[in-house]
Amino acid sequence: GWAPLAAAAATAGAFLAHGVACAWVAVGRRSTYQGSWIERAGLEDADDGSLYLTALYWSVCTLSTSSPGVGAEGLYPLAQGELVVASLAAACGALLLAGA
């Protein structure tokens, strides 16, 4: 039946969302650009869990709409690293949506 395939797709999507969220946090922390997404969101002093949950939300929004930042107000990419991660995430989201 379709249940194992759906479970595999959901698992792959969850791993992809996690990976993109981790990349989004990493690029935000390493950005030398004035006003990284972490600063724009006012999360400079946030703990790792808060950063991850915010990044996971951004990741799911980006992967499900193929448009970085849609639904995740204020978390749009500006710095070069952010643009790279967002572009790759949007491309992966488009591929996921095309296969849905």
In angstroms, rounded to a whole number, what is the distance separating the alpha carbons of residues 98 and 67? 14
Highest mean pLDDT among 34-38, 61-65, 80-84: 80-84
Average pLDDT of span 55-67: 87
Q: pLDDT at residue 72 above 80?
A: no
Residue 74 has pLDDT above 80, yes or no: no
Average pLDDT, whole number, for the chain?
88
User: Which structural domain, as residue segments, surrounds residue 15?
Assistant: 3-99
Total domain count, the chain? 1
Contact 56, 18 (CB under 8 A): yes
- Rounded Cα gap, residues 13 and 19, in angstroms: 10
User: Would the pTM of this model clear 0.85, i.e. be above it?
Assistant: yes
Is the per-residue pLDDT at 9 higher than 90? no
Q: How confident is the model at residue 71, as a pLDDT?
A: 66
The answer to whether 30 touches 84, Cβ cutoff 8 Å, is no
Please report, for residues 45, 60, 63, 86, the alpha-carbon distance to residue 70 in angstroms, rounded to integers and kept in the order given. Answer: 24, 10, 10, 11
Q: What is the pLDDT of residue 66?
A: 66
End-to-end CA distance of the chain: 16
